Amino acid sequence: MRPERSRRQQLLAQVAAELPASPDLVLVTDLDGTLLAGEDPWRRRFYGWLRLHRQRVLHLFCTGRDLASVARLLEEEQELGLGSPHLVISDVGCTVACGETLLPLPLVVDPIEARWQGLPERLMPLLARIPGVSPQPESAQRRLAYRIDPEALDHAQLLAIEAHGVDCLVSGNRYLDVLPAGVNKGSTLLALLSWLDLDHGTVVTAGDSLNDLAMFETGLKGVMVGNAEPALIEALPSLPTIYLSCAHGCEGIVEGLSHFGFGYLLEGAF
């Protein structure tokens, strides 16, 4: 058996119990500002719809949060009915885990880990000397997470950081993520779709901030919710496969799914 085929079978075996056998839709959603946004009645209905169609809709979280934060979120949002996704892409693309257990999938994560080795020790002292940059208290895996003061930060200094083999991603004009070069939500999503042999035509992504731009640049269908940050909306003309919703949060996701022809899955629920 070819090594690549064997590795794919191992990955499938790891997650097979959680995944629909032949999903009609692969829905990839950011969390803050997207799946967690909108009026509570819309959120309840959308979360209920996801639970009802769990065997037809393969749901992925694709978030900047780490796995510990995702676990806390699932507990906090139980009142509104948010259930576990099938899979989680976290740490802005640097971690992939099963949705039910939140255990990382080594076959996807290990190559990212290998690219990250040695970088934190080299970069943290350099970042500590940049005005307007302060570490976030949250933990992070295979990335460095910071808050920024946009008035104090000199973006030219981030270019010097990137020369060390990383990408510096600013989102919401508040957050800085330092990632292994070429690793982001989009690259990890494409790798995971390839491992799982999922039809790209069934995939719809949804997001609201600049760290979702890489998802939207994959060429997959995408929904930019109506409350997206202005810096992301500015990129819309160069994103022909992306639909900009009028509605916010969950309602915006539903609007986008209808636009892309998945209204038959929504009938009777909205």
228-265 pLDDT per residue, tens: 999 999 999 999 999 999 999 999 999 999 999 999 99
Q: What is the pLDDT of residue 16?
A: 63
First-to-last alpha carbon distance for the chain, in angstroms, is: 47
Buried b (16+ CB within 10 A) or exposed e, 197-235: ebeeebbbbbbbbbbbbbbbbbebbbbbbbbbbeebeee
Long-range residue pairs from 209-213, CB within 8 A, at least 24 positions apart, any chain = 209/30, 209/32, 209/33, 209/171, 209/172, 210/169, 210/170, 210/171, 210/172, 211/30, 211/64, 211/92, 211/169, 211/171, 211/175, 211/177, 211/184, 211/185, 212/30, 212/34, 212/62, 212/185, 213/186
The architecture CATH gives domain 3-112+183-266: 3-Layer(aba) Sandwich (3.40)
What is the value of pTM for the model shown?
Answer: 0.93
Question: pLDDT-based confidence at 106, cuts 50/70/90?
Answer: confident
**Separation between Cα atoms, residue 238 and residue 249, nearest integer Å:** 22
CATH number corresponding to 113-180:
3.90.1070.10
**Separation between Cα atoms, residue 217 and residue 256, nearest integer Å:** 17
CA torsion angle 259 263 267 270 (round to 10): -30
Question: What residue ranges of the chain are covered by domains with CATH 3.90.1070.10?
Answer: 113-180
Per-residue pLDDT tens digits for 141-151: 899 999 999 89
Query: DSSP 3-state assignment of 222?
Result: strand
Per-residue pLDDT tens digits for 5-62: 666 666 666 676 678 989 999 999 999 999 999 999 999 999 999 999 999 999 999 9
Question: What residue ranges of the chain are covered by domains with CATH 3.40.50.1000?
Answer: 3-112+183-266
Question: pLDDT-based confidence at 270, cuts 50/70/90?
Answer: confident
What totals of helices (H) and strands (E) does the chain contain, helices first? 11, 11
